[in-house]
Amino acid sequence: MLRYTVRRLGQLMLVVLALSVLLFAWLRALPGGPVSALLGDRATPESEAALRADLGLDQPIVLQYWRFVARALSGDFGTSTGVQRGTPALDVFLQRFPATLELAVLAILIAIAVGIPLGYLAARRRGRILDNLSITWSLVGIAVPVFFLAFLLKWIFAVQLGWLPASGRQTGGIDATRVTGFYVLDGILTQEWDAALDAFVHLLLPAIALSTIPFAVIFRITRAAVLDVLDEDYVRTARSKGLAGAVIRRRHVLRNAMLPVVTTIGLQTGALLSGAVLTERVFNIPGLGQALALGFERKDFPVLQVVILASAMTYVLVNLLVDLSYAAIDPRIRTR
Amino acid sequence: MALLEVRDLSVVFQRKGEDPFAAVDGISFDVSPGQMVGLVGESGCGKSVTSLAIMGLLPQRGVRVGGTVEFEGKDLLRLSDRELADRRGRDLGMVFQDPLSSVNPVIPIGVQVSEVLERHEGLRRREAALRSAELLERVGIPDPGRRLKEYPHQLSGGMRQRALIAMALACKPRLLIADEPTTALDVTIQAQILSLLSELVRDTGTALIMITHDLGVVAGMCDEVNVLYGGRIVERAGRHELFAEPRHPYTAGLLASIPRLDAPRGERLTPIRGSVADNIPWAGGCAFAPRCPNAVDACVERGPEMTREGERLLRCHNPVGRPAPSEEVPAR
């Protein structure tokens, strides 16, 4: 198990290295570039050349990459040129990371908490009303664009009904102590319950919007997996022993059906990140998604590099965790 | 008094847009306490469906079960799901065909044995684990303490089948149904499992229904043999009578297709021609008629009724071994 984990972490390093090369080259191949983004219409050939030299963009790309790697190894990922000009790119990332993580975690929790039970029930009541309704709902969840749903939720529950806040991470002017940057967690740690609740309420609408696609996928996979498992011989064996329905469901059906679902959950973290770009925009949450959007608009190479590399690392790490939990569920992987 | 009385059992599968299909078509037989009864026939003859119907393990939708299955005077088909679940594993045990797919791959063997004990005998986890170890030892699994913690993929096929037998016999049921328990195993292991089964059944006084396509399996252990064809019993006799003198052409055909060591050199096996796909419905004649070497005109005009010859039951217009128009009499 330990050797496996170490080997996977080694793979992670390779993934990050390969991605950094691709990303570096790809960003610099984009039309425009930070110089024209920064100078805009006021650009003269002289000022452009000066700025280009200032940013080190006049150097050969191999040399640029070499410098980037050398600095990155000491924790210096360059300085933001557009998102938050003058701030170290790593700081931009660290400031925004908690907001996105908080949102993504709540979204995936909602997707799991609704998707798995509903998928299970739909499989048990196959072909009946609940099954058909859930399938339709999950189809809608996949088909409706995230930003549209986000706007819709915001318009209904924030603007029309006024039940939930429309934007931001916390009500302005609330007395909240910052500890970790995770606002809900901060509120709990400092026992400022009103601040924690306020931050949580702010998360609800964006998290629901963000959870729809992972929910739909988790629901579908759970339903299919449970249907498969219900037909298995070992479920018949369990019934032939006269076991109580609850024991059969928990011990024999759900446990086996969870294997494909767990894999799906890992893969959905990628979808969460891309969804966060749009959701954060709609709800005006200062998170990574917003940094990405702004970064592309203003061609902020350092920020884009840090954010995308870190996101890729998160993705690989989450899937490593998924594989490890897979081994915990399935002894055939563990004891091979 | 019989332990199990199956009367006129029928199982009809009904799918939307398809004609209903009677997999089991009016089967009746008895099992006395401690008796070993064989249900024999090729794939599709309804033997497995019969066993699932007795256990109440058929899917609930799209299946119509008729007749009665009285176990100690109670009709199992009329019991509620809960009452039936109380009896399964306690009064009725079942061993399935494929020992790999019939055990849960992600749960230790020990738990799968002790969950029966916890369910029906109210044992605590510790006691159940101790009893499970004894059971595994009893079915011939060495080092049971270690095996309890192992997972199915760590056991050989034969061991898995032994473990399944331990699960089925854990609560000392009065009836054990074994559905092709040796089909998925190596020949050497088959013999071991069969002798283990008959030994356990004899020791515990459990009655056994042995379901198989292999007459060799019933030859070794069953007191009485029912030969099934097309969802009906076509011949029933005691083991010795059946093997000494098969009367139904289908039984005779099954016997002739078993390889025998004492047969003269160079003698060919005689297969039964055709397949189940050639069956005609019983309503219009004998389902076996299209494949039968003894078929006469009557066979395709009306279905043969069950007739009694002493202890033997027979459903045939033109049985083997009696002066008959047929010149071809299959070897015994």
A335/A274 Cα distance (integer angstroms): 36
Interface of A with B in 250-289 (CB under 8 A): 251-252, 255-256
A237 and B86 within 8 Å at the Cβ level: the answer is: no
Q: Per this entry, what is the length of chain B?
A: 332
Residues 190-249 (A) with a CB less than 8 A from some CB of B: 232-234, 236-244, 247
Q: How far is CA A134 from CA A103, A112, A113, A257, B135, in A?
A: 24, 14, 14, 18, 45
Q: Given an 8 Å threshold on Cβ–Cβ distance, is A242 in contact with B120?
A: yes
Instruction: Name every chain B residue with its beta carbon within 8 A of the beta carbon of A233.
Output: 96, 98, 101-102
> Looking at domain A89-99+108-168+211-334, does it have CATH number 1.10.3720.10?
yes
Best of A126, A241, A243, A249 to substitute, by most chain B Cβ atoms within 10 angstroms, is A241
Q: Is there a contact between B306 and B312 (Cβ–Cβ < 8 Å)?
A: no
CB A225 within 8 A of CB A262: no
| DSSP states along A111-180 | HHHHHHHHHHHHHHTTTSHHHHHHHHHHHHHHHS-HHHHHHHHIIIIIIIS--S--SSSS-TT-----SS
The residues near A139 (Cβ < 8 Å, ≥ 6 apart) are A216
Half-sphere exposure (Cβ direction) of A122: Cα atoms closer than 13 Å: 23
Binary contact (A242, B119; C-beta < 8 A) = yes
B57 touches chain A (CB under 8 A): yes
Among chain A residues, the shortest Cα distance to B101 is held by A233
Token pair listed for B268: 């060919």
- Using DSSP bridges, classify how beta strands B207-212 and B232-238 pair: parallel, antiparallel or unpaired: unpaired
Tell me the nearest-neighbour CA distance from A256 into chain B, angstroms: 7
B43 within 8 A of B72, measured Cβ to Cβ: no
- The closest of B214, B220, B213 to B197, measured between CA atoms, is B220
Q: pLDDT-based confidence at A108, cuts 50/70/90?
A: very high
- The type of residue at B123 is L
- Confirm whether pTM is higher than 0.95: no
Question: Cβ A330–B105 below 8 Å, yes or no?
Answer: yes
Beta strand segments in chain B, E: 4-13, 21-31, 36-40, 63-71, 74-75, 92-95, 175-179, 207-212, 224-229, 232-238, 307-309, 312-314
Query: How does pLDDT run across A57-70, given as a tens digit for each residue?
Result: 778 888 888 888 88
Kind and range of the H or E element at A16?
helix A2-29
Facing residues of B65 across strands? B11
Distances (CA, A) of A246 to A16, A238, A251: 45, 11, 8
Return the residue of A nearest to B111 by Cα: A251
Q: What pLDDT was estimated at residue B332?
A: 42
- Kindly tell me if the per-residue pLDDT of A97 is higher than 70: yes
Nearest neighbour of A242 by CB, restricted to B85, B153, B164:
B85
B148 touches chain A (CB under 8 A): no
State the smallest CA–CA distance between residue A232 and chain B in angstroms: 7
- CB atoms near residue B220 (< 10 Å): 13
**pLDDT tens digit sequence for A238-275:** 999 988 888 898 889 988 998 889 888 888 887 787 78
**In A, which residues are within 8 Å of B119 by CB distance?**
241-244, 247
ipTM of the complex: 0.86
Percent of chain A at pLDDT exceeding 90? 12
Nearest to A241 among B98, B116, B151 (CB): B116
Cβ contact B105–A247 (<8 Å): no
CA atoms within 13 A on the CB side of B18: 9
Distance to chain A for B294, nearest Cα, Å: 40
Q: CA torsion angle for A97, A98, A101, A103 (degrees, to 10)?
A: -120
Q: How far is CA B330 from the centre of its chain?
A: 25
Choose the closest CB to A237 out of B90, B102, B108.
B102
Query: Is the pLDDT at A196 greater than 80, yes or no?
Result: no
Handedness of CA A141, A281, A192, A93 (dihedral sign): positive
In degrees, to the nearest 5, what angle opens at C-alpha A39 toward C-alphas A35 and A42?
Answer: 140
Query: Å from A240 to nearest chain B CA?
Result: 6
Query: What is the arithmetic mean of pLDDT over A208-220?
Result: 89
For residue A35, which of A23, A26, A44 has the smallest C-alpha distance? A44
Q: Do A243 and B94 touch (CB under 8 A)?
A: no
3-state SS assignment for residue B183: coil
Of A233, A241, A252, the CB nearest to B98: A233
The span from the CA of A1 to the CA of B181, in Å, is 37
- B positions 286-325 inside 8 Å of A (CB): none
Nearest to B88 by CA among B56, B111, B42, B63: B56
Flag whether residue B165 sits within 8 Å of chain A, measured between CB atoms.
Answer: no
**Domain boundaries of chain A, sorted by first residue:** 89-99+108-168+211-334
How far, CA to CA in Å, does A106 sit from each of A3, A110, A208, A252, B5?
32, 6, 8, 29, 59
Who contacts B178 (Cβ-Cβ below 8 Å, separation ≥6)?
A: B94, B95, B197, B208, B209, B210, B211
Subunit contact B89:A240, Cβ cutoff 8 A: yes
Q: Is B3 on the interface with A (CB under 8 A)?
A: no
C-alpha closest to that of B29 among B219, B227, B202, B173:
B227
Identity of the amino acid at A87: T
Q: Which of A30, A240, A271 is nearest to B97 (CA)?
A: A240
- Taking the CA of residue B210 and the nearest CA in chain A, the distance in Å comes to 16
With contact defined as beta carbons under 8 Å apart, do A33 and A299 qualify?
A: yes
Per the CB < 8 A criterion, the answer to whether B4 and B174 are in contact is no
- B105–chain A Cβ distance below 8 A for any pair: yes
Number of cross-chain residue pairs from A and B with Cβ atoms under 8 Å apart: 84
The reply to whether residue A239 touches residue B94, judged by beta carbons under 8 angstroms, is no
Q: For residue B13, which phi and psi values (nearest 5 degrees)? A: -90, 130
Torsion angle, alpha carbons of A86, A87, A88, A94, to 10:
-160
The radius of gyration of chain B's CA atoms, rounded to the nearest angstrom, is 21
Interface touch B85/A244, C-beta < 8 Å: yes
Question: Token pair for residue A7?
Answer: 């080997």
Beta carbons of B267 and B277 less than 8 angstroms apart: no
The tokens for A295 are 């970064």
Nearest to B135 by CA among B87, B88, B93: B93
DSSP line for B252-317? HHHHHTS--TTSPTTPPP-PPPS-GGG---GGGS-TTGGG-TT--GGGGTSPPPPEEETTEEE--S
What gap in Å lies between CA A14 and CA A277, rounded to an integer?
A: 26
Which of A146-155, A182-191, B233-242, B298-307 has the lowest average pLDDT? A182-191
Q: How high is the pLDDT of residue B278? A: 75
CB contact under 8 A, A256 and B88: no
C-alpha pair distances (Å), A221 with each of A114, A133, A260, A264, B264:
13, 16, 7, 8, 60
Distance CA B42, CA B243 (A): 17
Q: Are strands B63-71 and B4-13 parallel, antiparallel or unpaired?
A: antiparallel
CB contact under 8 A, B103 and A234: yes
pLDDT at res. A335: 61
Region A181-190 average pLDDT: 77
* Averaged pLDDT, A132-145: 82
First to last CA, chain A: 11
* pLDDT value of residue B51: 93
Residue contact A331–B106, C-beta within 8 A = yes
Partner residue opposite A234 with nearest CB, options B93, B104, B116: B104
pLDDT given for residue B322 in this prediction:
61
Mean pLDDT confidence for A8-33? 85
Q: Closest Cα to residue A281, out of A181, A206, A203? A: A206
Nearest CA-CA partner of B222 in B204, B203, B241:
B241
Q: Which of B53, B31, B47 is nearest to B183 (CA)?
A: B47
Strands B36-40 and B207-212, sheet pairing:
parallel
Please judge whether B119 and A233 are an interchain contact, meaning their C-beta atoms are less than 8 angstroms apart. Answer: no
**Candidates B84, B86, B104, B180, partner chain A, best to mutate (most A CBs within 10 A):** B104
Interchain contact, A242 vs B87, CB within 8 Å: yes
- Which of chain B's residues have a Cβ under 8 Å away from the Cβ of A243? 85, 89, 115-116, 119
Question: Which positions in chain A touch B96 (Cβ < 8 Å)?
Answer: 233, 236-237, 240
Show residues of chain A in contact with B104, CB under 8 Å.
Answer: 234, 237-238, 251-252, 255-256
B93 CB within 8 Å of a chain A CB:
yes
Per-residue pLDDT tens digits of chain B, which is 332 residues long: 789 999 999 999 988 888 888 899 989 999 999 899 999 988 888 889 999 999 999 988 889 999 999 999 889 999 998 899 999 999 999 999 888 899 999 999 999 999 999 999 888 888 899 999 988 988 888 888 899 999 999 998 888 998 999 999 888 899 999 998 888 788 888 888 888 888 888 888 899 999 998 888 888 788 899 999 989 999 999 988 898 889 999 998 888 887 777 777 777 777 787 777 777 778 788 888 888 888 888 888 888 888 888 889 999 888 887 644 444 444 44
